[in-house]
Structure 1
Amino acid sequence: MTAATAADSKQKLDAALETGNPRKIAQAAMAHIWPLFDKHYLDLIHAIEKIPLSLLENYPVLWILHRVNPVLAHKRTPFKPHLNAETVKSMTTDEVDMLTLAQMIAFRYSGDVTAALAYASRLADRIRSRGTGFRERADGPLWFYHQQIGSTMLAAGETGPALTELAASAEIGQIAGRPDARRLALSRVALAHAKRGSLEEAERVLAELPQLPEPCAPYSEPTRFAENTAAALIGVERMIDDIDPLLAKLDSFGSLQVTWPYGLLARTRSLLARKRPDEALECVHLARDAHTEQHGSLAIDVMNAATIDALWALGSKKQARAAAFRTEQKGFLETSAAIRLAIADDKLDFAETHLRRLSEQRTLAPAQHTERIILSAWLSIAKADSIDPTTAQRVAHIVQRGNSRRILSQIPQEVLSSVRCELDDSMHPTFDVSVTGITHVMVQTRPTLTTSELRVLTALKRELTTAEIAAQLHVSPNTIKSQLRSVYRKLSCSNRAEAIQTGLTLQLISVDDDNR
C-alpha cells in the first residue's frame, strides 16, 4: 500500500488493466486501495470485476468490494478471510489495518456480528496504540475506519459506543475538509439517536445535513438510507399520521446496508401500532428469508420482538408464548415484548423478574428507560390495581413529551386512566390532550381478579340476581354491587353479558362450571 495521490493511483491501475493480467490488476488495486476507493470508486470496482473469484479470495479487501460477493454472502458458505501468521508479519501496519477492516466487514456481511465486533475492537485498538503517516493524512482513511467501527456497533445494536466512533469520524471529516465524510458519519449519528429515543437530538442532526453537499459513490447510498431511516423511526415513535411516505424510502428487506435492521424496526413497529400484525409478521418472514440468523445482532432482536407482538395480536397465543418464554438470552426488544405478553397473560412473576433485571442495567438508552417505566406502571396495575404517585408522575411526563406515543399504544387504556387519577386536577387538561388519538393495541389483556370477584363473575354465568349472589356468598347486596363495578372496570365491560363473554374468552371462567 502506497501513499500515492489519487491521480497517480488511477494511472497505476490503468497500466495494470492494459496488461490484462488479473494478478497485476489485483496487486495494483491493493497497492493503491484507499485513494482508488475514496476517489475512483467506480473505476476500482470495474477493475476488481476483471479478477477471477479464485484469485480474488487471496485479496480479502478486494473480495469485499466485489459487488456480487456481499450479495451472496448469506446464500452460500460465508467468506471469512483469514491469513496465516507469517503472511501477516510481512505486512505493513497500514496493510494490516486494511485487512482487519475487510475482516470486520466480511463477518458483518455473513451475519456473524459477534465476530465482526471482535475485529472492530481489534481495529480500534490498533488506531489507539499506533499511528501511521498514511492513516492520519488529511486524505487518509482514519475517518473511514472510525465510521466502519461505529457502523458495526450499530449492527449489534450498541448505539452508545457507536455514537462515540461516529462522532470521531464526523470530526475527522471536518478537520480533513471532507464534507462527504462528515455527512455520512452524521447520518448514522442521527440514526443512533433515533433508535435510542433522543428524538430531538436526532432531528437536530438531520436538520444540519442538508447544509452539506450530497456525497458521491461509494458514500451516497449509505448516507441516504441512514437519513431516511432516522426520519422514519422518529415518525413511528411519535405516530405521525403521514408515516407511509417515510417508510417507502427505507432500504429493502434484502439490503446489505447497516441500516436494514433499523428499517425493519420502523416498519414492524408502525404496522403493529396500526393494528396490522399480519403485515408485520410478513416483514419478519421476508427479512429472515433474506438474511442469516444474526445472533448477537440488532436484526435478530427486532425480528424476535416483532414476532412475539404479531403472533399475540393475531390470536396465536400458544405460538406467542413459545416465542416469548424461551430460556435463551434475549436482547432488550425481545425482552420487553416478552414482558408485555407476560403481563397480558397474567404471568406476573415472569414480568417482575425480567423488569427487575432491566432496571439493574446501567446502560439503558432513553427509550429503554421510558419503556421500563411504562411497563412497571402496567405491572403495578395488574398486580395491585393501583399505581404509586411517583410512577404516575413519571408516566405523565413521558406522555406530555409526545415522543413515546407508540410505546404508550402497547399498553391498555386502563393504565393511563389510573395514571390520570393520581394527577392533580390542574394536570388533567394537558394530559388529556397528550393522549388524544392513541389507539391501544394490547386490548385483550388477562386481568387479575380477586377471589371474591371471580366468585361474582362465576355467579353471573349462573344467571343469579344480585340478591341471590349476596345470599350465596354471605355478604351484603352493596358489596356485590361494588365487586361488580370492579369486575366491569377490569374487563372493560358495561353489563353482565359482556362480562361473561370476556371472562370466557380470557379463560377466567370455564364453560364447564356447574350450576350449583
Structure 2
Amino acid sequence: MERAESTTETPAADPGERRLFEEAWSQLETALAEGGPDPASEVARRRWFDLIAGPVPKRAAPLRRLPAEELRDHPLLALLAGLDDPAAQAHRVGGLLRAGEASAVLGDPARRVRRIDRAIVLLDQAQVQLGLGRTQGAAAAARAAATELEHLSAADVRNVATVGGLHSRLGATLLYSGDPGKALTTVERGLAYAHPLDPAAGLGNVAMLALLHAGNGDGVEARRHILTARSHAVELRRDNVVLLNVADAIVALDALDPVTARARLRDADPDLRTTPHWLPFVATMATAELASGHPGRGLAHLEESVGRRGAEARSLAARGALSAVRAQLELALGHPASAAALLERDAPPPVDAALGTARVELALDRHGAALQQLRSISGALLSTRQRAEAAALEAAVLLRFANEERVGRAVDHLGAILEGSGNLLALSLLPAADLERVGRQLTAHGYGEGLAVNRLRPLIPDVNPDIILTARETAVLAALLDHPSHSAIAAHLNVSINTVKSQLRSAYRKLGVSNRDEAIAVALDRHVLVERE
C-alpha cells in the first residue's frame, strides 16, 4: 500500500489543495513585498495550513532572504523559511533546528509572541518530537499548544481555518503520543470555533472525531461524523480523506466486512512516509488482513510499514498502540507464546494489556488466569470496544467451568453490549471452540438473529498449549509406551518406584489427564515426547 519512494519534494495532494497553496503563497509574497513582515505574518496566521500544503522550500526563498532579526521577531515567517521536504531524510534534522530556534524565541520574555503564533510553533515542535519517537516531548508540546488555544484573543479567533486546523492536528498528535482522552477534548473544542458560514474550517475536527469514535467502537457516532464530513467532500483536505476512510474501514471490520474495509483503505492510499495518520492506517490494514483470513500477510505488511517509518514507529507509544493487533495476528498464526511476549515487551495501555493477556490465557486453557486479568480492569473506565471484548472473553471463560445461572448473566450482558455496538469483531477474536459455545448461548438467549450469529467466523484457531515436561518427566512418560507397570519403568530407568510415581503425577497434571491411556494419547497428539533443544 505504500507509495513509491520519491526524490522530489512532496507536492500538494490534489488540484484543489494545490490551487489553495499557490493562492496563499501569492498573497504572502504580495504582502511581504508591499508591506513587509507584519502583513505577511497576518497572511500566515490566516492561511497557515494552505501555506504548508505543498512544496514549501521552493516558495520560501523570499523569506530566507529576510534579516535574521526580522525572522526572530516574526516566528511564523521563520518557521516557513525553515520548513523542508517532509519526505526527505533532512526533514528531521531541519525539524530539530527549527525546534531549538523556536524554543529560544518562545522563551524570550522580551519578545511578545501572539498566542496563535505560539500554538503554531508548538504544534511544529510536537510533530518534530513525534517523528523522532520522543512521544513524551510531543505530548508536552501538544498540551502546551492546546493551552494557548484556550486563551486566544478575539483577533486570533477570527483566523477560523487555522484555529480549526490546529485543534484537529493537535488532537492527532495527542492521540498518537498516547493521550486519547486529551485528544478527544481538544478535537471537540475545535468544533466550537468553527464558523457556521465556513464549515470547511471544522472538517478536520469532524474527521478526527470519526476516527476517535470508530477506534472506541462507537460505530453509530463514527458514521454520523463520516456522513457530515463527506457532505463537504470538495472542501476536504487529503489527510482528512485518509482519516475518514480509516474510520469507515474500522466500522466495516466491526461488522465483519473485510471486503469493504480493504476497499476503503485502498481509497485512502496515504504516503506512509509523511502522513501523520500512518498508525491507525497500518493497524487497520493488519486487522483487515486478519479478518480476511490472512494473518501472516497482515503481520508481514505491518512490520514492513513499521520498518519504513523509522524512529517514530519504534517509540514506546507506537509499539504499545500496535501491540494488540500484533498479538492477535500471532494468536491467529498459532503462536500464543509470541503474543504474550509482545504484550509484555511493548507495554500497551493497562486495559489493552489486560484484555490481550486474557485472550492469550484463554487460548492456553488457563481459565483462572484469564479471569484474573479481566477482574483487574473491572473498575476501569472502558470504551465501548473494550467493554465488548471484556464481556466476550468473560462469557467464554465462564462457559468452560461456571454454573448455568452465572453463565446466563454473562451472556445476557454480552448480548446487550453487542446489540448496542454491533461489534461482532469482539466475538470473532475468541478461539474457535469458545466462539462456537458463545454463539450457541447468544442464540439461546434470543440474540442470535439480531446479531447474525450465523455469520460469525473464528479468526483465532484453537491452540494446543505448548506442554514443556522436564527431562525426567519425559523419560518416565516415554517408558509408559513399553512398560505398563511402575516397577518395570523404575527398573528400566534405574530409579525408585516413588520417583516414577512422583514424575508421572507431575506429567499427568501438566497434560490435564488422569490415567495412563489418556497420558499416552495426549502426549502423542501434542508431540510432547519429541526431543527439544
TM-score range, shorter chain: 0.7 to 0.9
SS of structure 2 residue aligned to 1:358:
coil
1:407/1:250 Cα in 2 relative to 1: closer, same or farther (>3 Å)? farther
* 1:70 CA displacement: 6.3
Cα distance in structure 2, aligned partners of 1:231 and 1:324 = 27
Partner residue in 2 for 1:405: 424
What pairs with 1:1-150 in structure 2 (closer than 5 Å)?
Answer: 10=26, 13-14=29-30, 30=41, 32-38=43-49, 45=56, 46-48=58-60, 62=79, 66-69=83-86, 71-72=88-89, 79=96, 81-82=99-100, 83-84=103-104, 87=108, 89-94=110-115, 95-128=117-150, 130-137=151-158, 139=160, 141-150=162-171
Cα displacement (A) at 1:335: 4.4
Instruction: Name the CA shift for 1:91/1:272 in 2 (closer, same or farther; >3 Å).
Output: same
In structure 2, the CA distance between the partners of 1:168 and 1:447, relative to structure 1 (3 Å rule), is same
Q: Is the 8 A contact 2:45 2:159 kept in 1?
A: no
SS in 1 for 2:455: coil
- Cα distance in 1 for partners of 2:350, 2:282 equals 16
State whether structure 2 residue 249 is matched by structure 1 residue 232.
Answer: yes
Q: CA deviation at 1:344?
A: 0.9
Whole-Å separation in 2 of the counterparts to 1:381 and 1:73: 57
Please, which of 169, 172, 178 is the counterpart of residue 198 of structure 2?
Answer: 178
Q: What secondary structure does 2:154 align onto?
A: coil
- Structure 1's unaligned 5+ residue stretches are 1-5, 19-23, 450-457, 464-489, 492-496
Given the alignment, which residue of 358, 370, 388 partners 1:351? 370
Equivalent position SS for 2:193: helix
Q: After superposition, where does 1:381-392 map in structure 2 within 5 Å? A: 381-382=399-400, 384=402, 388-392=407-411
User: How far 1:393 sits from its partner (Å)?
Assistant: 0.6
How far apart are residue 211 of structure 1 and its match?
2.5
Show the 5 A alignment for 1:37-436: 37-38=48-49, 45=56, 46-48=58-60, 62=79, 66-69=83-86, 71-72=88-89, 79=96, 81-82=99-100, 83-84=103-104, 87=108, 89-94=110-115, 95-128=117-150, 130-137=151-158, 139=160, 141-156=162-177, 158-175=179-196, 177-212=197-232, 214-215=234-235, 220-240=237-257, 242-243=259-260, 244-252=262-270, 254-291=272-309, 292-294=311-313, 299-326=318-345, 328=347, 330=349, 332-348=351-367, 350-362=369-381, 364-382=382-400, 384=402, 388-400=407-419, 403-419=422-438, 425=444, 427=446, 430=449, 434-436=452-454
Return the alpha-carbon distance in structure 2 between the equivalents of residues 327 and 261 of structure 1: 15
Pairs within 5 Å for 1:487-502: none
Cα 1:49–1:390, aligned 2, differ >3 Å: closer, same or farther?
farther
TM-aligned CA distance change 1:50 to 1:437, over 3 Å: farther
Do the aligned residues in 1 keep the contact of 2:214 with 2:222 (CA within 8 Å)?
yes
Cα pair 1:170 1:182 within 8 Å, conserved: yes
Question: How far, CA to CA, are the matches of 1:408 and 1:419 in structure 2?
Answer: 8
Report the CA distance between 1:411 and its aligned residue.
0.7
Task: Quickly say closer, same or farther: Cα 1:50–1:416, change in 2 above 3 A.
Answer: same
Contact 1:169–1:181 at 8 Å: present in 2 too?
Answer: no
The separation in 1 between residues aligned to 2:447 and 2:55, in whole angstroms, is: 63
SS at match of 1:415: helix
Distance of aligned partners of 1:228 and 1:498 in 2 relative to their CA distance in 1, 3 Å threshold: farther
Which secondary structure state, in structure 1, belongs to the residue aligned with residue 152 of structure 2? coil
**Which whole-Å deviations, capped at 9, do the CAs of 1:47-97 have from their partners, x for residues lacking one?**
2267679x9997686269835146537876962713237635413233333
- Give me the whole-angstrom Cα distance separating, in 2, the residues matched to 1:233 and 1:289: 23
Contact 1:100/1:119 (8 A) holds in 2: yes
2:161 and 2:200 in contact (8 A); partners too: no
Deviations 1:411-451 (A, max 9, x none): 134434444665685727526x72112221222234899xx
Report the RMSD for the aligned CA atoms in angstroms: 4.4
Q: Which amino acid aligns with 2:398?
A: S
Question: SS of the residue aligned with 2:272?
Answer: coil
Secondary structure of the 1:359 match is coil
Q: Tell me the SS of whatever aligns to 1:116.
A: helix
Shifted more, 344-353 versus 43-52: the winner is 43-52
- Point out the more displaced range, 56-65 or 196-205: 56-65
Closer, same or farther: CA 269–395 of 1 in aligned 2, 3 Å: same
Q: Is the CA contact (8 Å cut-off) linking 1:339 and 1:350 kept in structure 2?
A: yes
| Inter-CA distance 412–501: structure 2 relative to 1 (3 Å threshold) | farther
Report deviation, 1:170: 2.5
Residue matched to 2:487: none
Q: Identify if the C-alpha distance between structure 1 residues 236 and 120 changes in structure 2 by more than 3 Å, giving closer, same or farther.
A: same
Q: Counterparts of 1:353 and 1:462 in 2: how far apart (Å)?
A: 38
User: Residues of 2 paired with 1:153 and 1:120: CA distance?
Assistant: 6
* CA distance in structure 2 between the aligned counterparts of 1:34 and 1:148, rounded to whole angstroms: 16
Q: Which amino acid aligns with 1:239?
A: L
- 2:376 is paired with a residue whose SS is helix
Query: Which residue of structure 2 lines up, in the alignment, with residue 473 of structure 1?
Result: none
- Per-residue Cα deviation, 1:382-412 (whole angstroms, up to 9, x for no partner): 5558752211112233455572222211113
CA contact (8 A) 2:362 2:397 kept: yes
1:503 to partner: Cα distance: 6.2
Find the aligned partners of 1:64 and 1:122 in 2 and give their Cα distance: 23
- Identity, in percent, stands at 18
Partner of 1:131, secondary structure, is coil
